[in-house]
């Protein structure tokens, strides 16, 4: 059928263009894992570092971390137990799933340099706004949680718990190559295993949209303005989609004529909001905090979407014309190599995801934090944080 052929052709082209950049993003994510001091996060998100300063730090720290809205939840629970300030926690919960090294790379591959910069910047602004709103409008339940010892264990092989061993001595335990190897394993194992299925679903959905919807249809009704933003907000809020998987969908929308601002609304609201996130957030911080979280994301997503459309219009830029052009600088042989490597590392995770889906069994490494609807392979989940 022509429709099926067109859908798969579109999906394959998107995958070919993004494969190398996805691998690059995963590599950065893995290196962040092993070369990023785990004590640094807990030390700078506590109330002792300053109410507003901790919000700023949490927004910065969350931008590059490769955690989806489900995977970040057990980390947030752990940070709360460690005494993290509620404003910083809200900020971290917004910036982390909305961005990430892998999703930024995918944005550069499938969209354009302006959107590549605008996306993490918008996530940063939204996170700060949500965190400050929680500080000013939220209220404490009055129940103080005693700070727990943070997880400072060795990120390479767990040889040191970070408490009973001298950090200066532990630095000598592993060479640069050992850390790099562990980073590779984390990136192409844990991180990609958690998002591979969703990414391919996003790629396929993008191909179907491009094949099914007339080229000028979305542009006619979602070409800009407040209505376009609200429609994309209504689409993004209820669904569960990670930042990387949302990228090809947003790219497809742009190619169909959707304004860059409307696409940004989807990229901000989709990864950060879903029923699971709001349910857990209600349990951890309360109903008021969950409402502030959702309202802040909605407000800043729409406001920043409108602002981005103004920027594109002011400079006479066309997102539709620029979309995917960065991939033209990548040699064809390198794209095919990237696609082959991506296919190899995806075979196992996709097979296991399909097996779990059809068998109905709960994955062995489901979140130990007992988060509803969350089954992922993040280290934080395995450790029961």
**pLDDT tens across 160-185, in order?**
765 666 666 666 667 778 888 888 88
- Give me the DSSP letters along 319-376: HHHHTTGGGGGS-HHHHHHHHHHHHHHHHHHHHHHHHHHHH-PPPTT--TT--TT---
CB neighbour class for 330 (10 Å; exposed up to 12, middle 13-18, buried from 19): middle
Q: Strand locations in 239-302, DSSP E? A: none
- Report, in angstroms and rounded to the nearest whole number, the Rg of the chain calculated over CA atoms: 21
In sequence order, the β-bridge partners of residue 225 are: none
Q: Domain coordinates of the chain in residue numbers?
A: 2-382
- Straight-line distance from the first to the last Cα atom of the chain, in angstroms, rounded to the nearest whole number: 49
Task: Give the separation between CA 37 and CA 33, rounded to whole angstroms.
Answer: 8
Check residue 46 and report its DSSP letter: B
Q: For residue 122, give Cα distances in angstroms to 12, 116, 174, 300.
A: 29, 10, 37, 8
Least trusted range by pLDDT, from 23-32, 142-151, 196-205, 313-322: 142-151
Is the pLDDT assigned to residue 95 strictly greater than 60?
A: yes
**pLDDT digit string, tens, across residues 97-116:** 888 888 888 888 888 889 99
How would residue 117 be classed by pLDDT, with cut points 50, 70 and 90?
very high
**Per-residue pLDDT at 124:** 96
**Higher per-residue pLDDT: 282 or 382:** 282
**pLDDT digit string, tens, across residues 134-145:** 888 876 544 444
Is the pLDDT assigned to residue 34 strictly greater than 70?
A: yes
How would residue 307 be classed by pLDDT, with cut points 50, 70 and 90?
very high
**Per-residue pLDDT at 99:** 85
Least trusted range by pLDDT, from 2-11, 170-179, 198-207: 170-179
Ramachandran region, residue 224 (left: φ > 0; alpha: ψ -120 to 50; beta: rest)? left
Least trusted range by pLDDT, from 36-40, 120-124, 213-217: 36-40
Is the pLDDT assigned to residue 242 strictly greater than 50?
A: yes
pTM: 0.71
């Amino acid at each position: 059928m022509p429709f099926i052929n067109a859908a798969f052709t579109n999906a394959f082209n998107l995958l070919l263009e993004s494969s190398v950049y996805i691998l690059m993003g995963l590599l950065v994510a893995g290196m962040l894992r092993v070369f990023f001091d785990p004590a640094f996060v807990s030390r700078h998100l506590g109330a002792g570092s300053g109410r507003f300063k901790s919000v700023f730090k949490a927004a910065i720290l969350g931008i590059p971390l490769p955690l989806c809205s489900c995977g970040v939840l057990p980390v947030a629970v752990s940070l709360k137990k460690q005494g993290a300030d509620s404003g910083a926690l809200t900020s971290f919960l917004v910036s982390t799933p909305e961005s990430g090294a892998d999703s930024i790379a995918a944005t550069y591959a499938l969209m354009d340099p302006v959107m590549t910069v605008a996306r993490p910047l918008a996530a940063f602004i939204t996170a700060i706004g949500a965190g400050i709103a929680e500080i000013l409008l939220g209220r404490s339940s009055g129940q103080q949680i005693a700070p727990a010892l943070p997880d400072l264990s060795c990120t390479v092989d767990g040889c040191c718990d970070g408490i009973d061993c001298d950090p200066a001595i532990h630095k000598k335990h592993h060479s640069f190559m050992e850390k790099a190897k562990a980073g590779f394993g984390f990136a192409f194992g844990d991180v990609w295993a958690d998002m591979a299925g969703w990414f391919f679903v996003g790629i396929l959905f993008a191909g179907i949209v491009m094949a099914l919807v007339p080229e000028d249809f979305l542009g006619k009704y979602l070409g800009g303005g407040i209505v376009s933003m609200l429609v994309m907000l209504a689409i993004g809020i209820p669904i569960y989609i990670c930042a990387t998987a949302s990228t090809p969908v947003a790219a497809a929308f742009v190619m169909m004529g959707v304004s860059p601002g409307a696409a940004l609304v989807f990229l901000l609201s989709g990864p950060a909001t879903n029923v699971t996130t709001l349910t857990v957030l209600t349990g951890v911080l309360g109903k008021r905090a969950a409402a502030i979280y959702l309202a802040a994301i909605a407000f800043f997503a729409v406001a920043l979407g409108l602002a981005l459309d103004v920027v594109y219009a002011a400079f006479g830029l066309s997102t539709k014309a620029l979309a995917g052009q960065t991939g033209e600088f990548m040699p064809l042989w390198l794209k095919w190599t990237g696609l082959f490597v991506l296919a190899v590392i995806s075979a196992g995770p996709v097979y296991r995801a399909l097996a779990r889906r059809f068998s109905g069994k709960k994955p062995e490494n489901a979140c130990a934090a007992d988060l509803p609807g969350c089954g992922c392979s993040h280290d934080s989940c395995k450790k029961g944080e």
